[in-house]
Structure 1
Amino acid sequence: MASKMASDEFDEEFLTCQVCMLHFRDPKILPCLHTFCKECLEEWATKQQPLECPICRLPVSLPDQGVDGLKTNFYVNNLLDFVAAKKGAEPGVPCQVCEGNVEGSKSWCTDCAVLLCESCTVMHRKIPGTRDHELVPQDVMTAKEGVDKFNRKRHCDKHKNQELVFYCESCQALVCTGCTVIDHRPGKDHNPVEIATVAQKKREKLQELLREIDPRQKEIQASIEEVDKNMSNLNPSKEAATTQAKAYFRQLADLLEKREQEILSKIDEECRADGKALQTKKEAIEFELAGLTSAQTFCQQTVEHGSYVHVLEVGNQVQTRIESLLAKEVNLESNWSEFQFIENTAVEDFANEVENLGGLGSDIDVSKGQVVVRPAVEGFQCVAVLKTMDKKGRPCVVNSNAVTVNMKDPSGTSLPTTLQKSGHVLEISYVPKVTGSHRLDVKVNSQQVEGSPYNIKVQSRDTPVLTIGRQGSGVGELNGPVGVAVDNEDNIAVVEQGNKRVQVFDVNTGQSLRTFSVGGYWSYGIDVDSNGRFSVTLCDNNGVCVVGCYSKEGKLLNTVKPGGTKSYEPRGITVLKDGRMVVVDNSQRSCLLLQHDGSLIREIGKGQLQKPTFIAVEESRGMMYITDMTANKVFVFDLEGEFKFRFYGKGQGEGQFSSPSGITLDKSGNVIVVNHGGGRVQVFRPDGTFIRTVATVQGRHPLGITLTPDGYIAVACFTGQCIEMYRYC
């Protein structure tokens, strides 16, 4: 049971809604564990869509019943009863039933939540409907401790006169004795047990979570202190760098005066930027601490003062909130390096280096830096990414003025390069004019970056810049690659029919990152939703064709079997932003637009498609493009199912098809299609007008394709047992 709480352990603010600033009226709990009046939330919901918590701004997804479906904060209700009873015990307060009898002792009915005089108390105990109610006498009402006596009993919505004393574990619902006889009779479908047993287990789980909060709070608090320490060092660090800069430039006299002012300005600019960044970082960490502390307080109140009913009412919600906060990855590093003035040039050598004198350097360790070289293709803008680290091995930003880049083609001719900051990295861009080995030299603060100079092999347009995988069943090997997609970390995910699995590869290096089994005996299409979950079309070991939904780590979350179809043989799949799916059904020669649970919205293309294979959807226009390997065409429908047009037919000429299979769209809505026969990859405008041929796939029998964010086409080569990467833009 809950420990006792003295009346002075809470104040008016605890019982006050932060929206209306009045005592709570029918308090409701949001998923973030903040409590507000039901009426306040209903009014708030009419003004704000989507709904957010008024305090922490966490998005709120209301249940089907709206605000009324949220859990009630019975602990706050009990405290309000306690406060009301204490005021009622004061002299001169009338009975809330007969509205008289201001003198004499009074009682508080916890079931009715009303104040009773002595006469009404006697009658209350005689009436059959109220004689079993729990009455709190005057001496308890006036005691400093006694809030635990004020627990409103919960009664069944169906059997109004019966208290909720059981918990059906199968339904996860509180039930009364009558319900255990009718709707929740013990058996294979229902398992009602006394609430004390279940509530105690839940309380123990919440206590375990409470023990985990303390070390996390200490870790976050330590991080805040570290940020405070860095912030306190900002001005001293600035002053030290300023002093160094002035001492250095005083030696250079008039020639360096202008440059000196530029450097001082940069120091000020960096100081302001770093100060703002550190302040933002501190606020973000404090926000995490506030959320954790709020959840801790609520959980503590639930564990120590909540009734069994209250623990079961909000226990799952509290557990979910705390577990999500504890599991949330929060970067607690301040990532700040002290200012350091760099003497790039000796005083005696300044005459020829005036333009490059000085600079603002951070604590960069070039031995820990690296340059990631992206695949390069002749005639395309290519990129190499410079990543810099500090002496502790943490990512840090380097001023582009401190970086020098020199690139030469096979003949030794220098190529123009440009530097552009992208987050914590610098992108080195260049356009090679010839194929062959190019040399890239990169320095930071006049020091060679680890691994520099780099040899970059520039490929021709028709040569794959990277071939991923080879035949086999081991890590990094492929057997029957079919569908291919880009995950939310820009890696390549491929479905292997032969190995019955999904394998994820690094898009830059081709290294296998992870695999997970999809089982069954047949799989085909794959897509990744906005949350990073994988959807795979497959047939399980029982011959049932479904869509399997997997987590980022490859854990099977659920399977969906499309409803409303007699038979089903899925091929390609696309998951829309709202969770709906479009699946190619080869058995019915159509496409199925499905809800996230598999219920059929509509069937599209029936009677027009012959052998549909893969699909791509442009959501901004509501258009879907479907390859038909038998008709040798691409069919275009809108999401309402209306046929729009189709383009081109069988042949080997420009824009013609030979068993078109994989299809994808670029950012402009242009359509990219690969031919299963011959391997040509072609590009069409959204209206079907032919633009160009990108390449001819070297591997045999290409099927699925996808376009990476950095402009490469990944092609799954079914009999070539590999994925080939071609430059697109």
Structure 2
Amino acid sequence: MVGTGSIASVEGFVESPNGQCCQRIQFPDIVPASGICKAIVWMNQVGVHQVHVKICGTEIEGSPVKLVSGVRECNLLKTYKPPMNQPHDITKLENMFVVTDKSNNQVQVFDSEFHPTNKFCSPESTDMGKFDPYAVAWTGKTLVVTDLNNHCVVEFKNFVPFQVFGKEKLKRPCGIAVGKDGSVYVADCEKHCIFQFNKQRECTFNIGGQGSALGQLNAPWFLAINSSGNLVVSEFKNRRVQVFDPQKRQPIRIIDVKHNGKSWDCRGLALDQNDNIYVTVRNGFMRGWSSEHVLVYAPNGDFLGAFGEGFNYVRGITVTKKGEKTLAYVVDGANHRILEYEM
């Protein structure tokens, strides 16, 4: 702002990425002799913000301004190493964490400090082989778990097997997510598509098909649903994230996952309260020289930064809000541990 005298008629605020709250900008009461007025604004949320400035209630020319608040040096808060063997995916339910303990053929439940509190397996049945849990999601009443070996989804109620579905459709079920209406979406990395199952767990439609064009998929691994009900998919072989409108069954955008001049294999996927996309990635195929990180993108595809190192087969991730803090819990599979980061 340029001028002199009182600027009591000037107001400014920062709109948060989700548009639900605003942070007021505190200008000084008097413009200094230089004629330039400055205000320092601290962003407390990762993502794309909008900065608005008004004079006498009228927004000035050039406002709002897009301001990207990226991932800073993320603080590794804690490392948890409970008894697990090749953990694969994680989700949070109130004060509990649920982890697919893949090589132990079970799903484990932990308290907030990752002390074991419960564990469960698939139903004992003559037509079910060894339980191979891959990904887990919460429907609001039940837990749904993809079973790679049995080509199905196992649904648990109160940690007890409730029903099995998808055997007639699924070949290699990987990621799983739950829509606002209670429908379940399952990524099939061998059929290269996403299947939707309604509340009755009947298959209603699928999205995708093998390829690299917009709307096509190649080895979809993990899924998430954003606040608009759109489906977010990490594609392992296409090295990208793709967003779909499941109601229209149409693609919305592609986010090419690149960092430090490289393309990265996309693995785990999670969203924060602002729909920012966290994807666990890997470059290289051999232990000892592969590089693994978590990359963060705004919903529109703007790159927000990277964090994490020392992973060995990084996999699932979940992002939660704790007071004013945003916390990310990353599954470090071959190191058999969960890492907690503060954004």
Letter in 1 for 2:146: T
What is the rounded CA distance, in whole Å, between the counterparts of 1:706 and 1:587 in structure 2? Answer: 24
**1:534 and 2:143 matched:** yes
Residue 702, structure 1, aligned to residue 314, structure 2 = yes
Q: Which is strand-richer, 1 or 2?
A: 2
Partner of 2:219: 611
Aligned to 2:108: 503
Separation in structure 2 between the aligned mates of residue 718 and residue 658 of structure 1, nearest angstrom = 18
Q: Which has the higher contact order (CA 8 A, sep 6+)?
A: 2
Residues 242-641 of structure 1: matches in 2 within 5 Å?
Answer: 461-462=73-74, 464-469=76-81, 476-487=82-93, 489-507=94-112, 509-518=113-122, 520-531=130-141, 533-539=142-148, 544-552=150-158, 554-561=159-166, 563=168, 565=169, 567-607=170-210, 608-618=216-226, 620-639=227-246, 640-641=248-249
Q: Which residue of 1 aligns with 2:299?
A: 686
Consecutive unaligned residues of structure 1, counting only runs of 5 or more, are 1-378, 382-459, 470-475
**Which of residues 328, 338, 342 is equivalent to 1:723?**
338
The CA deviation at 1:498 is: 0.6
Partner of 1:645: 253
Q: Are the structure 2 counterparts of residues 518 and 588 from structure 1 closer, same or farther at C-alpha, using a change threshold of 3 Å?
A: same
Q: TM-score, normalised by structure 2?
A: 0.68
Contact residue 483 and residue 524 of structure 1 kept, 8 A: yes
Q: In 2, distance between residues paired with 1:596 and 1:498? A: 30
SS in 2 for 1:707: strand
Q: Distance in 2 between matches of 1:579 and 1:480?
A: 29
Deviations along 1:175-227, one digit per CA (max 9) or x if unpaired, are xxxxxxxxxxxxxxxxxxxxxxxxxxxxxxxxxxxxxxxxxxxxxxxxxxxxx
* Cα displacement (A) at 1:575: 1.5
Displacement of 1:660: 1.2
Output the amino acid matched with 2:233.
I
Match of residue 660 from structure 1: 266
Higher-Rg structure is 1
Would the aligned equivalents of 1:461 and 1:727 in 2 still touch at CA under 8 Å? Answer: no
CA distance in 2 between partners of 1:598 and 1:606 (Å): 22
Code of the aligned partner of 2:295: Q
AA matched with 1:486: K
**Which deviations, in whole Å up to 9, do the C-alpha atoms of 1:306-350 show, x marking residues without a partner?**
xxxxxxxxxxxxxxxxxxxxxxxxxxxxxxxxxxxxxxxxxxxxx
* Residues 222 and 233 in structure 2, CA contact (< 8 A), matched pair in contact too: yes
- 1:584, CA displacement in angstroms? 0.4
Contact 1:636–1:644 (8 Å) recurs in 2: yes
Give the C-alpha shift of residue 717 in structure 1. Answer: 1.3
User: 1:50-107: CA deviations, max 9, x gaps?
Assistant: xxxxxxxxxxxxxxxxxxxxxxxxxxxxxxxxxxxxxxxxxxxxxxxxxxxxxxxxxx
* Runs of 4 or more consecutive aligned structure 1 residues displaced over 2 Å after TM superposition: 460-464, 517-521, 676-679
SS at match of 1:715: strand
In structure 1, C-alpha distance between the alignment counterparts of 2:101 and 2:76, rounded to whole Å: 21
Q: CA deviation at 1:676?
A: 3.3
Answer whether contact 2:144 2:156 (CA < 8 A) is retained.
yes
Q: Contact 1:684 / 1:691 at 8 angstroms: preserved in 2? A: yes
Partner of 2:11: none
**How many residues of Structure 1 are paired with residues of Structure 2 in the alignment?**
253
Structure-1 separation of matches of 2:175 and 2:189: 9
Q: How much identity, in percent, do the aligned residues show? A: 22
1:7-51 alpha-carbon deviations (Å, 9 max, x no partner): xxxxxxxxxxxxxxxxxxxxxxxxxxxxxxxxxxxxxxxxxxxxx
Q: 1:515 to 1:659 in 2, by over 3 A?
A: same
User: Following TM superposition, by how much is the alpha carbon of 1:586 offset from its aligned partner in structure 2, in angstroms?
Assistant: 1.1
2:225 partner SS: strand
How far apart are residue 562 of structure 1 and its match? Answer: 5.4
Amino acid at match of 2:97: I
Conservation of the 8 A alpha-carbon contact between 1:500 and 1:517: yes
1:147 aligns with none
Which amino acid is 1:594 matched to?
F
Q: Map residues 128-207 of structure 1 onto 2, 5 A cutoff.
A: none
Gaps of 5+ in 2: 1-41, 45-71, 124-129, 211-215, 284-290
2:16 corresponds to: none
Cα distance in 2 for partners of 1:579, 1:516 equals 23
Report the Cα offset of residue 636 of structure 1. Answer: 1.4
Secondary structure in 1 aligned to 2:103? coil
The separation in 2 between residues aligned to 1:576 and 1:691, in whole angstroms, is 26
The corresponding residue for 1:55 is none
1:597–1:548 Cα change, 3 Å: same
Residue of structure 2 in register with 1:211 after alignment: none
Label 1:544 to 1:701 Cα distance change in 2 as closer, same or farther (>3 A).
closer
Confirm or deny that 1:712 pairs with 2:327: yes
Structure 2 matches for 1:49-60, cutoff 5 A?
Answer: none
Distance change in 2, residues 1:674/1:603 (3 Å): same
Note if contact 1:468-1:722 (Cα within 8 Å) is conserved in structure 2: yes
Task: Please state whether the residue corresponding to 1:583 is helix, strand or coil.
Answer: strand
Query: Any conservation in 1 of the 2:219–2:238 contact (CA below 8 Å)?
Result: yes
Question: Is the 2:121–2:131 contact (alpha carbons within 8 Å) kept by the matching residues of 1?
Answer: no
Contact 2:132 2:150 in 1 (8 A): no
Q: CA deviation at 1:463?
A: 5.0
In 1, Cα distance between equivalents of 2:78 and 2:111: 11
